Chain A
């Protein structure tokens, strides 16, 4: 197995280089000049000398290959450069946004998986049963609701009309004077609506995924064998069917890693959630090239890490992969 891991890691290296190259290329080959556009946002014509000085400061006057090398050497030192917009280190800008995004994404994942997996199992146990049909219909219905609309409705109903839940933000104004428990409860109540908005769209495919996996496995010979041994149905499902039916979920879990850190633009914006998604949104509006590159790179790296992690977990969970990888 170590050799399998080593090979997977080795393959990741060229991908990594590809990611940096692509990220750099996408932003630098796009039309326009990031400095020239600063003028667009300023009050008066900005003298060409200042713009030239700024190009020098950000090395934008150098040839592209040199800029790429400079950027890479910065990356090697975990330095993502400084923001074109406000001169702050990009890494710091992203780091302060990570906790909020992470918590929100985690809450949404727990909510989505916590609902979808049991319901998917239930539906898979009795295909075309009441739960299967009911959940299928309901989940596809809510799947088709656009997030921004759902968010507005939830805000209007639960925050403005009923006043049960906070409208937006991450904590109440007065929270700093409260005790720990009250603060935690306050934070949790702020999480509810955004987490629901992020989660509901995943219910449909997650539950169907689990359901079809289970249905497929239930027809397998070893399940019939288990039943023939006289095992109770519970044991058959829990021990033999589920373990195999849920294997593909590892792949899905791998894909959630980048989600944890890249943020949700629409939900974070509507709920004034101070996360990475809003940084992305603001940076696009500000044409902040360096921050956008940093965000893109981190998203890509986490996607790669997620895939890698999924592959490795697969190898741990499914002996067939380890063995078949041996010559």
Chain B
């Protein structure tokens, strides 16, 4: 996929960690020891019950942007193509696809025999309709709209062929279609309002599960689609319970009311242990494609951060490892750049900066910031090195981080004031480049492209809030978007990572890890950089041996 979720989004740590669909630390797509791929053929039966903190945004799959909405879309509906556990794009409704030699035309050949859950066939007209709706600003498809912006036109030469023409070649053309779950044209066209209509609440899809019910703020129930083109999923039911409180979710897990939980760091340390817990639950860990960072404003409005040595010194001075150890209980991966260690593009030679206050002092000396008046604060040309760190009031985690960094910087003779502001104000000041340094977080995409963040063309109206401008970076970002060969792209992004590491437009702090407890009875569980669900076939291939089923068919039948 393309650029990370650059809309700099401050999220409570919990909000980030509790979203279910995510990624991992272990090498991609490894069958879990003791669960998947062992002796015994998969059988049908049993339910999977998971918990989310809030309802999905919508079951209109064009509009829904949230994690749960996307998860449900993946299973109730179907996409043309999808990432597999190794982050390779594979066909779902598309049997095959091809690019024109100039990479401007992408042609999908759809599989015949796929049906909407009301019996109508799924055709290229549905795919074209879905894309049209995404491209209509009235659908408010926000990020999807942006991804489809490079599309020039979409044609359907026949019922099973979809031809997409792009204005210019774009490396992540195919990626856009992994986030475009199909909606049934024949049903939506009957409705007066695209957003406020029955499909948004009780959708007819064409995916492995069919929608059964949505009790708002309580639960969403899906059941196996017996007529799915790839064969029905093994599990009979997939239930998402809406449980907003962390502690209640944990207790629900222990009471056996849910089978899966993304735990908070505190829960991992304090509650997810002991023989009883170990016996019932398997613990899985993976890295969230999410970044905590401090951005240094380089637009020249302050005398500090335009100097690369100063930015490097800042990173050396901040005790990020210590912070991760104490406050995060080690449940986070130190970040070297925006690319997580799970990514195919991750450059192993680019390491996170170590904590080295002496080096920071030397770099600051070199840059001419010395404490000439002996007041404990460095200065240059009569100006003391004192600046303000802006961050948003979303949870205590930020306070802890800001306070500990403030102390780190004091040690090297830099005075950092803290300005905690309300989220709206924070976003406004970020968008208006009205800050010296800002602490924030971002959702990342599987694709390593950092165009939105660091290309100089994104300073004025994009997400390059720190006004980073470097011709080499611009060139690399552009090349990366035009290159289709993965090896060639890997080289481009390796250079980008080196550059980011040297230049430190951000102090990259960490990628949080997701810590999951999953009932041991589930087999066939695969873990991917996208988590346990948001890839293909994901949960559609989970199963439970008959002897261990908690909701076997015989008992549930007749309900």
Contact = CB atoms under 8 A, between A and B. Distances in A.
Interface of A: 30-33, 36-50, 53-54, 57, 82, 85-89, 96-97, 100, 152, 155-156, 159-160, 163, 167-170, 173-174, 176-177, 269-275, 278-279, 281-282, 285, 287
B425 interface: yes
A273 B242 CA distance: 10
A97 B215 CA distance: 11
B396 interface: no
A274 B218 contact: yes
B20 interface: no
A272 B60 CA distance: 24
Given A47-B145, A57-B140, A272-B218, A87 B462 contact: no
22 contacts: A31-B425, A32-B427, A39-B142, A40-B427, A42-B7, A44-B146, A45-B452, A50-B140, A86-B200, A87-B195, A100-B217, A163-B255, A167-B248, A167-B252, A169-B241, A269-B245, A270-B245, A272-B218, A272-B241, A281-B244, A282-B55, A282-B244
B137 interface: yes
B138 interface: yes
Main secondary structure of the interface of B (DSSP, over half): loop
Contact of B443 (A33, A43, A45): A43
Interface string B1-24: 111111111100001000000000
B424 A32 contact: yes
Interface in B15-70: 15, 54-55, 57-58, 60, 63, 65-66
Contacts of A278: 217, 244
A176 B179 CA distance: 35
A159 to B, nearest CB: 7
Nearest to A285: B54
A160 B254 contact: yes
A151 B194 CA distance: 42
A30 B200 CA distance: 31
B472 interface: no
A142 B96 CA distance: 67
Nearest to A271: B248
B214 to A, nearest CB: 11
A300 B138 CA distance: 32
Interface size class of B (residues with CB under 8 A): 35 or more
Given A41-B65, A42-B5, A274 B462 contact: no
B159 interface: no
A186 to B, nearest CB: 14
Contacts of A269: 244-245
Given A45-B452, A47-B149, A87-B58, A274 B248 contact: no
B248 A36 contact: no
Nearest to A54: B140
A272 B245 CA distance: 7
Given A167-B251, A274-B217, A44 B452 contact: yes
A165 to B, nearest CB: 12
Interface of B: 1-10, 15, 54-55, 57-58, 60, 63, 65-66, 137-138, 140, 142-143, 145-147, 149, 179, 195-196, 200, 215-218, 241-245, 247-248, 251-252, 254-255, 257, 422-425, 427-428, 431, 443, 445, 452, 458, 461-463, 559
Given A30-B424, A87-B200, A272-B244, A96 B216 contact: yes
Nearest to B244: A269
Nearest to A56: B137
A272 B246 CA distance: 11
Contacts of A159: 251, 255
B216 A44 contact: no
A278 B182 CA distance: 31
Given A50-B145, A57-B140, A87 B255 contact: no
A86 B200 CA distance: 9
A36 B83 CA distance: 30
Contacts of B424: 30-33, 37, 287
B463 A282 contact: no
Given A44-B7, A45-B452, A160-B255, A86 B245 contact: no
A145 B412 CA distance: 45
Contacts of A33: 424, 428
Given A45-B3, A88-B200, A269-B245, 16 more contacts: A32-B424, A40-B10, A42-B146, A43-B4, A43-B5, A45-B146, A45-B462, A57-B138, A82-B196, A87-B58, A88-B196, A89-B196, A97-B217, A169-B241, A170-B218, A176-B559
A88 B140 CA distance: 13
A91 B166 CA distance: 42
Nearest to B217: A274
A100 B217 CA distance: 11
Contacts of A57: 138, 140
B146 A47 contact: yes
Contacts of A160: 251, 254-255
A292 B105 CA distance: 45
B123 to A, nearest CB: 27
A311 B234 CA distance: 63
B425 A45 contact: no
A45 B195 CA distance: 22
Contacts of A281: 244
Contacts of A82: 195-196
Nearest to B443: A43
Given A48-B461, A159-B251, A53 B216 contact: no
Contacts of A49: 137
A37 B252 contact: no
A39 B3 CA distance: 14
A46 B559 contact: no
A211 to B, nearest CB: 36
Contacts of B15: 285
Contacts of B443: 43
Contacts of B245: 168, 269-272
Contacts of B6: 44-45
Contacts of A38: 142
A274 B9 contact: no
A270 B242 contact: no
Contacts of B10: 40
Contacts of B425: 31-32
A155 B251 contact: yes
A36 to B, nearest CB: 7
Given A53-B137, A269-B245, A156 B217 contact: no
A269 B425 CA distance: 27
Contacts of B241: 169, 272
Contacts of B55: 282
Contacts of A87: 58, 60, 63, 140, 195-196, 200
A167 B243 CA distance: 11
Given A86-B63, A270-B245, A278-B244, A44 B138 contact: no
**7 nearest CB pairs, A to B:** A32-B424, A274-B217, A87-B195, A53-B137, A43-B143, A42-B143, A43-B5
